Amino acid sequence: MQIGFIGTGVMGTGIIQNLLKAGHQVVVYNRTKAHAQTVLAAGATWADSPQAVAAQSTVIITMVGFPQDVKDVYSRAEGIFAGAKPGSIVVDMTTSTPALAVDLTAVAHHLGLRALDAPVSGGDVGAKNATLTVMVGGDQDAYDQLKPVFGQIGQRVNYFGAAGKGQHAKMANQIMIAGTMTGLTEMLVYAKAAGLDLPQVLATLSSGGADNWSMDNYVPRILKNDYTPGFFAKHFLKDLRIALREADQMHLDLPATQQAKQLYETMVDDCGLGDDGTQGLIKIYENK
């Protein structure tokens, strides 16, 4: 399959490499070409704009940073919608707003395209190992066609319904992750203050009811003072803000998620640590 992919960051790089391993031809674009060198060396080809990517592809996947970035790569003069051929499928894997997914789908349909919102969970490890969870909304016939492709980059793929439903599923995921990230951070702060052996604490908790993906993947990094982003803190804060806006529109009060957002605002906005991984949250406790 001829796949276009826009966004060769931490997540995109791993996904593209797995698409190449599966035998697909992949043409890529990234705002900074230097950040695409890993996938170009692996066999992807370069295009000079999102429009050029779309013109060469039957499936166009985007994974960029923020909703405004999504709008830009689809709608600008040299964007995806300017180059995509009727019958193509556009897939936004960025964690973005449900409303934007609905809007993009409406434009896609007007142009004779099909559209999916398909955000993922699993971090850099999942992207690298093809063990992502993929949450999909949009045109079901497009989902049915691409489900085997999603299976080449993820271990669990679920379809949730109309446009925007994939993004809503991802918001539910991020609300849960907010709890695990704050929990593992405060667990470490407490265990350290109590004089416990932290690797032993991790080994113990990982074998009991407290075990969770975030702890298993991020606590070992914290113990090595490794704050390299498997998922950028600034992007997680963006997700929490979206989730809370959506909750507000549904007249829901989520105080624990609100507190997590405030903690990540301290990390990202006040301490300037947005380019750290989400595990860098512990730094704001150490600096108190």
Residue with tokens 């060769």: 8
Q: Which one from 128, 165, 170, 261 is the annotated catalytic residue?
A: 170
Spatial distance between the Cα atoms of 136 and 68, rounded to a whole number of angstroms: 20
Reply yes or no on whether 170 is catalytic: yes
CA 167 from chain center: how many Å? 11
The closest alpha carbon to 133, from 118, 117, 116, belongs to 118
Contacts 24+ apart (CB under 8 A), 144-151: 145/89, 146/59, 146/89, 146/91, 146/116, 149/1, 149/3, 149/19, 149/22, 149/24, 149/59, 150/118
Q: Which residues are catalytic?
A: 170
